[in-house]
Amino acid sequence: MEGYKRWVRRNREYVNSLESLANGLTWLLPERFSSSEIGPEAVTAILGVITAINEHIIDTAPSQIHTGHPEPSTFPYSLCISALKDLETLVEVVAQHYYGDTKKWNFIAATEAIKFSVRLAMFRNSGYKMLLQGGENPNSEKTSEVSFSQSRPGDFRKPGFYSGPGSFRNSFGQNGQNGQNGWNLEGRALSALSRFGENARMVSDPAWLRRVQQQNSIMESIAPKAEKSTLSSILSEKGVHGSLYLMGEILFIARPLIYVLFIRKYGTRSWTPWFLSLAMDVVGVGIFSQVMLSGWGSRDHKFQYTTAEKDELKRRKVLWALYLMRDPFFSKYIRERLDKAEKLLEPVPLFGALTAKVIELIVGAQTRYTYMSGS
């Protein structure tokens, strides 16, 4: 296993390219969206799990840990969530094949319940940091993103350097130690040299790279680490806005499970699950936006998010587009327009055949909850 890890870390670009090609080709497998698609989905799930494992191996490489990435926790939450997301489509297909369209929702609900539990545990274990990509990417506090939380005379800052702390986390400069800023700049420089050496693949003479990484490791070891926030500390120190933050993230974590439970009760043709799920998404993002706005202009910037967290909020808004692909909205408004477009372009040589294939993939993917769940 250690030999495989070393090979993946040395050939990460080749591994990523090969995985992307293999995952793309799975869409061309025969009977991908037919009643007997267990085989193609099994291949897709296995490739997805292998991809998740390889990414976990790369992310937990010693050089990555020493250049600002989070230290591996006792339980690989991110790997577990990625594996569950790759396996859930296979679970749905097998359940539908053997138990029918109605009872398959029992298995989908069980899968979502497991994901809910893992995400909730990850949220608590991380110090109640916002989940990135649904927990697939660890939300780490990096020195390239976080600076002092308060501006003081004499503070030295590089242009474009992020000046806000991470959400609900202590920053390095809160104790007023000006010497810490010097370590931050030196550590960033050493990290940049380390990444440059790794990308250049200086395998023939890696002595200098090892020295840089060793120095960087020493600097990381002497750096003060921010303590994890606890539920009581957030509620006591952040007050109402802390409670709103927790509510917004719990809504995001629980939304897929509640959505499936309501589909299981009312069916896919009912508007109740659709509207309830959309309301939870809109309210959750609205809470985060309100919390973020409340921090602007304050002295300590308590509620200013990191760049990664702001990107995550944008990603969650983009996912709202999936509601156009979910029933009953898709069946009532989208499907008919797709059929008309297919008939209109059918006589066009080559382009008509390509359009028909694209529409076939769209309609086939829409029949799968896990493809359109956004969870």
Q: Per-residue pLDDT tens for 204-225?
A: 444 444 554 555 555 554 445 5
Q: State the Cα–Cα distance between residues 247 and 288, nearest whole angstrom.
A: 9
Which has more confidence, 10 or 110?
A: 110
Please state which of the ranges 22-36, 57-71, 138-152, 282-296 shows the lowest mean pLDDT.
Answer: 138-152
* Among 131-135, 215-219, 235-239, the range of highest mean pLDDT: 131-135
Beta-bridge partners for 312: none
Does residue 123 carry a pLDDT above 80? yes
Res 159 pLDDT > 90:
no
pLDDT at site 107: 96
User: What does the pLDDT look like over 288-327, one tens digit per residue?
Assistant: 988 877 764 344 445 678 899 999 999 999 999 999 999 9
What value does the mean pLDDT take over residues 159-187? 40
Residue with the bigger pLDDT between 163 and 27: it is 27
Q: What percent of the chain has pLDDT over 90?
A: 32
Q: Is-contact 190 212, C-beta < 8 A?
A: yes
DSSP-derived 3-state class of residue 131 = coil
pLDDT above 50 (res 169) = no
pLDDT at residue 260 greater than cutoff 90: yes
Residue 176 has pLDDT above 70, yes or no: no
| Cβ contact 146:162 at 8 Å | yes
The alpha carbon dihedral of 361, 367, 372, 375 has a sign of: negative
Helices and strands (DSSP H and E) totals, the chain: 14, 0
Domain borders along the chain are 172-222
Output the average pLDDT for the chain.
Answer: 75
